Chain A
Amino acid sequence: MASVPYPLDKGRGAAAKRAYSWTRFAHEWVLTVDHKQLGLMYIIIALLFFVASGLQAAVIRAQLMYPDNHLVSPQAFNRMFTMHGTTMVFFVGMPFIAGLANYLIPLMIGARDMAFPRLNALGFWLTLFGGILLYSSYFAWAGMAGQGSAPDVGWFAYAPLTEKAFSPGTSTDFWILSIIMSSTGSTITAINVLATALCLRTEGMTLARMPLFVWMFCVVAFQILVALPPLTAAQVMLLLDRFLGAHFFDTRASGDAVLWQHFFWLFGHPEVYILMIPGFASVTEIIPVFSRKPIFGRAAMIGASVSIGLISLGVWAHHMYTVGLPSKANIFFAVSTMLVGVPTGIKIFNWTATMWGGRIRFQTPMLFCIAFLFQFLIAGLTGIMLAVAPFDWQLGDSYFVVAHFHYTLIGGLLCTLFAAVYYWFPKATGKMLSERLGKWHFWLLMIGFHVTFDPLHFAGLLGMPRRIYTYPPGRGWEGFNYFASWGVVIQAAGIAFFVWNVVDSLWRGRKAGNDPWDAWTLEWSTTSPPPEYNFAVAPIVRSSRPLWDLKHPEDPDWKYEQS
């Protein structure tokens, strides 16, 4: 039997009981370069923007509940979906995954902090101020419709609608600048993640033993580094168009509207995986722990993640089947898109196989993971339908697409993020979230989600285009929209239970202890919450499940793992 390589950390929590003062507040919330504090701050702003953006979605659904409804003006509606999309992608999704990366990667690889703590803080503040800039557009003057307020060009802002001729005023400029800021923040995070994972792993943690969570975040970081520069470049070009009379996308001066689409989707499609893979990463940590088995096919999971990372860089034009590309180009992108389904399928099979033969504990994090598996399966299959170029000629830009990507992002991503919150909340706060409230949250959110988004597939199949502020009766869309709108109420109730759960648990939650889930990765070896610099003694790792080795000295993993 190997000797215990490092002690379970007893922590230095006593140091945290200093008197509270303004300077301490500033150090904790403004000047901090601590990866855990920044990670939590990222997640807090993500949740705040999530609520704002959720309210926008509620307005959208309220307007579409009945045909010929005039709850809000067309201009206001167009702002709603533009702000909803932009916020959810850039100020909810991206900060949330940056928060997970920041909080967990150093803990999982036994490091004291991220590789570049100050850069890390810069990334956070760029993201936050990007978001504030976007929302301050509500107070600016003269949008596209000739009146004040937020951007209304859609989240992918197709040229030439964004040119001065069609969008006078400043709202579009707010949009451009806020996205440049937040993407710079994301790029910084990506550099930091790669440097941290490659350089700061603790003794004995080879790449082969690195947690899959960290592996997948490395893939994400790589994708961000490749995909965000085209977006930033395009935004700068658009700024030049708008302010200096450049003609990149200005079709009235021989610019090219399709060029913008190439740039945007060269970012936009990898972006979908940039958001999804962190979800996969969380699930890959949670499912094994709750099934009481190691992940099935570790090497295959790494291979699948890397191939998704690479293939996803070559699929962008599947958003452009209708712009009149030659048939051969459409076929190429159809095939490359379908190929992403293969590694994604491998992952789903591996997660299933991990549960197979296990003893699955149905606690809230696992419930979200199971719902994710079913819903992501459906989202993936509707994705295959959209990959079939001719099918997409019918489905593209319809409510089918809306239903599809909400299945991916709510049924998939949001479920995994909630799974992650329930799983790591005890680590970050030292308190358990309530299982009872967690189950209310889970079931209401899931029922509401299905009531909202299942019917919208059918509205799309009956020809309902997306982004319409109203629709006439008699087109067969009324019933589906009516149900979808009620679903929002149920989802909102679910989210209310989540907020209640967080507040209530912080106040009087059960103490978590170091390792409430009986898990196997390094973050569970330190205290909850972890002390500054995480570990009293740098841990030494001999397998991909260091805590399993510690808890089962008679049957350690390193006996079975090569390398």
Chain B
Amino acid sequence: MLQFRLLGAFLFFSATVTAQPTHAIGNIFKPLATPAELVSELSILTLVICAAVFLVVAALLAYAVIRFGYREGDSRSEPPQVYGSNQVEIAWTVVPILIVFVLAMSTARITSAVQDQRIPKDAVNVTVIGHQWWWEFRYPDLKIITANELHVPLSTASQRKLTYLTLLSADVAHGFWVPQLAGKTDVIPNRTNRMWIDPKEAGVYLGNCSEYCGTQHAKMELRVVVDTPENFEKWVAQEQQRAPAAESADNQRAFLRSGCIACHTVTGTPALGRLGPDLTHLMSRETIAATEVPMNANTLRDWIKDPQRLKPGNKMPTIKLSDTQLDQMVAYLTTLQ
């Protein structure tokens, strides 16, 4: 069983790219955006240097251990007493300093290449807000607010498109980490951090919160959906619309009267809460509650019925609802495309 899983994991690396591939395995040596590529290059250089050092030193150690081990029949007398040698000491001080010099220079180059990148005017601006235990994404220029799935445009060789992230936190420290796009940057309250990406392959990229942030740190998954320019425009147009008019007033009433609106927003309705994710286009998202559970009427119903079952300790309270109320509410929410 396990072997199959392992095999599966390895096959996954070599799987051919389909129309909307899911980059579920965040292999840092398979970068698909410039910051991750720069880091990966430097990482491979570092790995090669470290491997070389390891081979040389481990070989010396192994030789010493094998060659100079005491064997039955060896003389019991003490070996020659050697106290040291200044020349040798100097040699193994200078060589490591040279290696450090090479590594330091490369580190400096890549560090500033990533951190001090100029951001072009046409970059897509996104404000990422970490919450205990979900992500809010605001597009200030496009007037979009969404949650847990970050949509960004593809950057191609002919049409380079940067996405510029401003990282804020609503409560405690979190970490934004999607390994194939860029290294992690902490999301710290009272502090504005910034990072940029230019994804080079369409698809869904998975990442996680990387800084321990409390009970449900594990289920604070990040999904970055990289759209082709046309798809991104479609998505923007869709998200900019207000919520569709309610098909059934009863269903909408069930939602509005159940207390959900204290924390959630649906534009164009009295629901204006800001503590939880914006639900205006709830059904456009693929999963529920920053987890891997797919979004559909059934899972949504289970989630609303008892949010503490899927994600124990999360901040969404369990509200006592009758089956009818639940059905009505789910019927309403599933219209929020």
Contact = CB atoms under 8 A, between A and B. Distances in A.
A160 B104 contact: no
Contacts of A370: 61, 65
Interface stretch (A198-206, A251-259, A426-434): A251-259
Contacts of A362: 69-70
Nearest to B291: A472
Given A145-B215, A298-B84, A482-B2, A357 B188 contact: no
Interface stretch (A54-62, A342-350, A532-540): A342-350
B61 A373 contact: yes
Contact of A360 (B26, B65, B215, B219): B65
Q: Which residue, of B167, B183, B209, has the highest number of chain A Cβ atoms within 10 A?
A: B183
Contact of A251 (B78, B88, B190): B190
Interface string B88-128: 11001100110010011011101110111000000000000
A247 B329 CA distance: 43
Given A291-B68, A294-B83, A461 B28 contact: yes
Contacts of A352: 57, 60-61, 64
Contacts of A471: 218
Contact of B9 (A384, A388, A476): A476
Interface in A236-295: 251-252, 254-258, 291-294
A393 B184 contact: yes
A185 B60 CA distance: 41
Nearest to B40: A394
Given A298-B83, A391-B42, A394-B43, A322 B186 contact: yes
B280 interface: no
Contacts of A406: none
Contacts of B190: 251, 254-257
B92 to A, nearest CB: 4
Interface string A530-556: 000000000000000000000010010
Contacts of B93: 342, 346
B35 to A, nearest CB: 8
B39 A390 contact: yes
A75 interface: yes
A335 B221 CA distance: 33
A338 B103 contact: yes
B189 A470 contact: no
A358 interface: yes
Contacts of B103: 338, 384, 388
A341 interface: yes
Given A296-B84, A331-B112, A468 B175 contact: no
A166 B172 contact: yes
A443 to B, nearest CB: 16
A479 B96 contact: no
A366 B111 CA distance: 42
A183 interface: no
Contacts of A358: 68, 79
Given A384-B103, A463-B26, A166 B89 contact: no
B211 A397 contact: yes
Interface stretch (A94-102, A127-135, A374-382): A374-382
A144 interface: yes
B170 to A, nearest CB: 10
B267 to A, nearest CB: 28
A258 B189 CA distance: 9
B3 to A, nearest CB: 8
Interface residues of B, number: 96
B182 interface: yes
Interface stretch (B45-53, B153-161, B238-246, B252-260): B45-53
A296 B86 CA distance: 10
A465 B175 CA distance: 10
Contacts of A461: 27-29
A79 to B, nearest CB: 10
B88 to A, nearest CB: 7
Given A342-B100, A360-B70, A391 B43 contact: yes
Given A465-B209, A475-B26, A381 B54 contact: yes
A349 B9 CA distance: 40
A47 B112 CA distance: 46
Nearest to B293: A472
B215 A357 contact: no
A144 B212 CA distance: 13
Nearest to A483: B2
A361 interface: yes
B286 interface: no
Contacts of B100: 335, 338-339, 341-342
Contacts of B219: 470
A300 B38 CA distance: 38
Interface string B5-26: 1100100100000000000111
Q: Which residue, of A256, A339, A397, has the highest number of chain B Cβ atoms within 10 A?
A: A397
B210 A397 contact: yes
A348 B57 contact: yes
B104 A334 contact: yes
A555 B83 CA distance: 14
Q: Which residue, of A389, A395, A560, has the highest number of chain B Cβ atoms within 10 A?
A: A389
A257 B80 contact: no
A390 B80 CA distance: 47
Contact of A394 (B81, B183, B218): B183
Given A349-B57, A557-B81, 6 more contacts: A335-B108, A358-B68, A359-B70, A388-B106, A390-B43, A560-B83
23 contacts: A78-B215, A158-B172, A160-B172, A161-B173, A251-B188, A252-B189, A257-B188, A297-B88, A330-B111, A331-B111, A341-B100, A348-B57, A360-B70, A374-B61, A384-B103, A385-B46, A388-B46, A391-B42, A394-B28, A396-B210, A469-B217, A475-B206, A478-B5
Smallest CB-CB A-B distances: 3 pairs: A393-B183, A463-B26, A468-B218
